Amino acid sequence: QVQLVESGGGLVQAGDSLRLSCAASGLTFSNYGMGWFRQAPGKEREFVAVISRSGGSTSVAVSVKGRFTISRDNAKNTVYLQMNSLKPEDTAVYYCAAGRNGFPPFVTNYWGQGTQVTVSS
C-alpha cells in the first residue's frame, strides 16, 4: 500500500522559512516523479513544484519561483519543499504527490494527506 506522509507545516510569520518533507513507502521511490501541490480555502488545488526521478530536473510555479525549492533524497525515500520568504498568500494545505510517469509530464498517481501551512502578516 502506497503511503505519502507530509510533515513540517505550521504557523509562521511573513518572511519566515519552512521545510516540508514527504516520506514515501510502498513504492519504488526512485521510479517516481514527485511533486508538491497546494490548496487554499475556497480555491482549486494548484501546482507548486515537481522533480524528476533522479532529481536532475525540477520545475516550480511562477508564483513561488525564486522562493521555493524542491529536492529529493532517494536513499531516504523523501522529497522536500524548502519555502523561503513566505507570504500570506502561501497559506494553504500542501500536498505531496507521486507520479509513475516521472516528469515531464507529471501525472499524479498517489496523493498524501496534506499538511497545513499558515503565514500571518
Average pLDDT over residues 22-46: 97
Question: Does residue 67 carry a pLDDT above 90?
Answer: yes
Mean pLDDT of 30-50: 97
54 contact partners, CB below 8 Å, separation of at least 6: 30, 74
75 Cβ contact partners less than 8 Å away, ≥ 6 residues apart: none
How far is residue 30's CA from residue 63's CA, in Å, rounded to a whole number?
28
Predicted pLDDT at 47: 97
Q: Return the pLDDT at 109.
A: 95
d(CA 25, CA 81): 18
Summarize pLDDT for 70-108 with one digit per residue, the tens.
Answer: 999 999 999 999 999 999 999 999 999 999 988 888 999
